[in-house]
Structure 1
Amino acid sequence: MLLISTYVAQSPIEGLGVFAGEYVPRGSLIWKLNPKFDIFVHETEIGTLPAHMKGFIARYTYPHLEMQGYRVLDADNGRFMNHSLAPNTDFRIFDTGYALVDIAEGEEITCNYHEFDPGFVGFLPGMAATTLDAQLHANGR
């Protein structure tokens, strides 16, 4: 769950992004895993979903690194946070996210997806759903 004020808007990185609705000082805790706002979906549930929902799950979830077989869906603006190899946040500790630098009000908030999704390979049309299907198949689901 995001712990700071944010909004979603067009991003110069890709599609929509998350932008700071307030000034965020370097070192601030900006996100904390909260099961009331971060939905856990078990991989066995995904196979029965229609194709468009499998694509949604593939794009907007990431593996729960401490609960085997679960994926996490942020129910707030966090799901629109864009990937960057030079992010302004740190998500290396699975259940928390911090500001690496001062983030100005109106600045896009970015993260490195590899910090919490070791299988992330990027987004190309159809790639996310195909990658998730391959992961589920490899896990016997």
Structure 2
Amino acid sequence: MMHPDTELRYINDVIGVGIVATKLIPKGTIVWISDDLDMTLKKDFVESLDETRRRVVDKYSYLSDDGDYYILHWDHARYLNHSFHPTCIDTVFEFNLAARDIYPGEQLTCDYGIVGVDEDFECVPEEGTSRTRVRADDYLYFSQEWDEMAKEAFKYFNSVKQPLKYLIKEEYAEEVKAVAEGLLPLPSILTLFVDESEDDDDEDEDQA
């Protein structure tokens, strides 16, 4: 679910539509959070769809961490556009935070590299960055940068209004509270891409 102080607007002929803030959204605010209205579609089901519907699902959904499901948002969150200078940053807790103050009329964006795309694709050129493509392995090179953005945003978590806080999943609630209070470090976004059990198996094999 997207923050209530956002709406869908036409951006331009190249980008099409995007999500724009209607009021100031302060840094550290939850701007999007996964909720139980989002649709989870089995990969084999999506692959069985006719071309027309599959094209839409492919465009507006993303793969789950294990790659077995497509996640399709029920609200205008599906129109969150990409930027190499994102105004929103992902966390391991299935919500995004405002990476900086987002002013009325500004677009909410995220770095698609953090979602874990299947295939590389070219992006609209942006000033201030040498990146021109989102790559499937971006997490190998930019996870530390994304983690720092999330850590900085989390510093403001308890000092701003959080209209979506009630949707934080119970399994994350205590850890989110501890991270926000500075009692625990924020887990790296890299954990969404790396299977720790596989790493442990590799270490066991190395020691054998």
Question: Which TM-score tier does this pair reach, normalised by the shorter chain?
Answer: 0.7 to 0.9
The letter of the residue matching 2:24 is Y
Partner of 1:23: 24
Q: CA RMSD in A?
A: 1.9
The letter of the residue matching 2:69 is Y
1:88 to 2:115 alignment: no
Change (3 A) 1:123 1:9: farther
Query: Matches of 1:30 and 1:98 in 2, distance apart?
Result: 5
CA radius of gyration, larger in: 2
Aligned-partner SS, 1:18: strand
Aligned length: 122
TM-score, normalisation: structure 1: 0.78
Unaligned runs of 5+ in 1: 125-141
Unaligned runs of 5+ in 2: 124-208
Which range is displaced more, 114-123 or 73-82?
114-123
Q: Cα deviation per residue 1:85-126 (whole Å; 9 max; x = unaligned)?
A: 1101001426110000000112111001111224352379xx
Q: Aligned-pair distance for 1:71?
A: 1.1
Query: Matches of 1:122 and 1:20 in 2, distance apart?
Result: 27
1:45 to 2:45 alignment: yes
Partner of 1:76: 75
The letter of the residue matching 1:7 is E
Q: Aligned-pair distance for 1:35?
A: 2.2
The 5 Å alignment of 1:43-122 reads 43-65=43-65, 67-93=66-92, 95-122=94-121
The letter of the residue matching 1:96 is F
Q: Cα deviation per residue 1:63-87 (whole Å; 9 max; x = unaligned)?
A: 111x540111111111111101110
The letter of the residue matching 1:6 is T
> Which protein has the bigger strand share?
1
Query: Matches of 2:105 and 2:29 in 1, distance apart?
Result: 17
TM-score, normalisation: structure 2: 0.54
Aligned-partner SS, 1:47: helix
Q: Aligned-pair distance for 1:48?
A: 2.2
Q: Aligned-pair distance for 1:5?
A: 2.1
Q: 1 or 2 for the larger relative contact order (CA 8 Å, sep ≥6)?
A: 1
The letter of the residue matching 1:3 is H
Query: Matches of 1:7 and 1:92 in 2, distance apart?
Result: 22
Tell me, yes or no, if the aligned pair for 1:92 and 1:116 is still in contact at 8 Å.
no
